[in-house]
Chain A
Amino acid sequence: MSAKFKTMLASGNTLRLQRCDSCGQVNYPVRELCGGCLGDSLTWQSVDDRGTVQTLTALHYPLEKNFSSHLPWRIASVKLDAGPVAFAHLQLGIDCEARVRVSIVQDEIGNAVLVATGENESANQWLRSINFTEITA
């Protein structure tokens, strides 16, 4: 049985996150009030999609089946230039301290999820290999 994830990301082919209309802070994970000023007017806006891989792990025992055919499953903690820290599925061959671009794609079960890919590399082959699909606007 596949999990019913609730990533709550805005789908689209550019990275959009919640920016506070009052103080300008970019918020992630998704929330209803700004983590900076507690303002309640957050707008999904395109933000700088670049970031740095600050650490990563390769998972051998995912708790959900949809990851288990592509093990080990690599994820990264990315410090986004826009401010927040985001966990993202990590492209094969990308390592710690690498500069990456973070984009939103569709995972195997249809969720909008973050992927971190090399700044100047095509991720198409990797995405296909794990049954993720790019979202076309």
Chain B
Amino acid sequence: MLRSICYDFALFQISIYRIVFLRSYRRTLKGSKHQTNSKLPTRRSNGLVKYLGSRWFSTVWPKLKPWLKRLLITFGVILVAAVVYLDITIRKQFEGGSWAIPAHVYTRPLDLYVGLSIAESNVLDELGELGYRPQTGAPAPGTFESSGGGITIYAREFQFWDQLRLASRVRIGFNPARTQITSVTSLDEKLGLFQLEGRLFGSVSPLSHEDRELLTLEQIPEGLITALVSIEDRNFFSHWGISPIGILRAAVANLVQGRVVQGGSTLTQQLVKNYYLTAERTISRKLVELVMAILLEFHYSKHELLLAYINEVYLGQAGNRAIHGFGLGSQFLFGRPLQELNAAELATLAGMVKGPNYYNPLRHPERALERRNLVLEVMRQEGLISDVQAGQLQQMPLGTGGTAARQRRSYPDFLDLVRQQLRKDYQDNALSDAGLRIYTTLNPRIQNSVENTISSRLAQIEKSRSIDKGTLEAAAIVLRTDSGEVVALAGGRDRGFAGYNRVLDAIRPVGSLLKPFVYLGALEQPEKYGLGTLIADKSITVSQVGSEDWTPQNYNGEEHGLVTLIDALKHSYNLATVNLGMGVGLDTFSQLLQRFKYNAREPIYPSAFLGAVPMTVIEVADLYLTLANSGFKTPTKSVRSVLSDSGDPLGRYPLSIEQVAKPESIALIVHAMQQVVEDGTANAIGARFGRELGYAGKTGTSDGYRDSWYAGFSGEHLMVVWVGRDDNQPTGLSGATAAAHIWSDTIAKINTRPLKSTLLADMTMVSIDPATGMQIEGGCPNAEELPYIVGYEPMSQSACYVGGKTESISNNNSSGAKARKSVGDWLKGIFK
């Protein structure tokens, strides 16, 4: 700072010397006049005294004169100090590159490779959302051509984590059905795989909510400069910050047109106004603006100023996000980089400067079109474009609809999760003003499916059940089971609305969603429990410390007597679950949840067996992720990597897993959850997809039908859905009648792997008699095949029990022999 001030004073002194030198030089040139003129001040003062002729003045003036001199000097010093201060201010801010660039957040890149099953239309959708335009021959970056059984893409330059991919052409070949990629070639080279870059969909805004994308001079199209200069400041390249001629010309033009068509401020003044000053309109502010404009011109080249202007200019509002600079403006309005815009689109942007909100092409397309055409007309008048060109350009549409509209899709709910994850590792100011690039796990195709499904399903449920329109809310999250990557998140039914995020913040009782963990607690003791173990679905009263005795009921109010463990979960019997939970022990259950990294907000009571535990959607997802991942815990994540503003790798979130349960125990509970879908409370899902896909899940309904839940997974994705009301009033909806439908509709739209039965090496399928829980021969009509850990199969019986009678199996096959052999193993297991 001190150095800067000293430097400024030095500059100021140089300026003074320069003025003094120039004066004396001129005087030297004028020769003898110099002598004569040098006496002028004395003559003038003498004359003044003589003219006033006042004795009072002649006595007072000599005393006043030094004071006046001091006053003038003081005033001069203050003036100089003010100018110096302004000079310091403008240079410090200008050269410091002090724009707060928020962290920019990108969707996941799309891997395209031979063998990938993906509809060509999906790749075209992805390209559309990235702002790629169809053009014959794909002649330039940002274009593609779909022809001859494939797509030729001229990919843009993109900074990936490991490398800068230069703009390049690639050909993606499809099978005749256009459902699978058969070749990926670049020029003549066969590629293993190719990545389509992610899309910038949001930013982690600073408090000011200013957002911008910085451009370099080389990235600015000539057409933008031409349009901007012609409409805003025709003399920009010749004036020195302020332009009296420009003011006059603008006044004349406005008079002729009868309305304000041109402003008198130069681009430099506008830059000063936007960059350094407030919006107030006072004379002092105007004076400061003029001085600063001149100082800026004194220090910096026209191109430097133009670049600053282009990066600084305000171009409107997107929610609470202020769009600054033509770079982001272009992305936001047209869905493409500035370099890819045509002359008409550049003219639209240039025209917006005068009134970013008034001429916003999204909100006021007619005004924007008129303004754009005026810009083009001015350019025509100045001979910058021909009459024909102007005519053609004026006929073009604004170009802000269609794919550009899809490009503007932002996912504020997902951004909340990104912020939450990054705040653990990065300071707030690094996120809000350092221009970081955040590469996330968001899959826009799946995200859009979730949002559309929620919107249509809730409307349909409200209509069919005569629920007041708009009263239901929903929240959903989809993750990849292998890595815990969150691929979609919807915090409510209003898409794109940044508000209450029900996935992260709504804490609601989860109902039967916790039951699989009660049963898992049992199955982790294979010497005591297997899927065929009988448990009592009978009334039970539980004493709870600090509260009244608790007597749970089944949903239908009935008791079912002795049922197998798998049937109890399949049909979500409350009484059987509580009986089982009490047998397993509350502590064991509580420790299991802790092992799965769930930190309970409140002490766990026996009512927790039936889900009287409030959780967020993401907490449920976190618990279920470990079930879907064979007992291997992996943290949920929304960010893959973070790069600096210049593209340098800063941090990565590598895959990390921890084993919290034995894969065998998990395989048992997952088998039971597959039965829930096939034949239990979520059988509608089973009926829709067929048993071969093997999806697993669990419905959940809280007391009084206030919360409808479904958590389920395929071989690749886990999705958790909640439906309810924000005011916590009953909806009359169970997990199966609302949340499960949203799950099912979404999964039907996304490509996901089936969930294969995961019998591990030390597991075997055993025939069970559900009435006794004992092994029977596979040929018995009531036999049920269930997986068991080898060594823990139940005791066998040699005959079938049908309707209370014993029936011998005539064909004593090998499975029977195996069953008998298992008794010894089973006993061995007990005494281990």
Q: Say whether A and B bind each other.
A: no
Could you tell me which B residues sit within 8 Å of A by CB distance? none
Could you tell me which A residues sit within 8 Å of B by CB distance? none
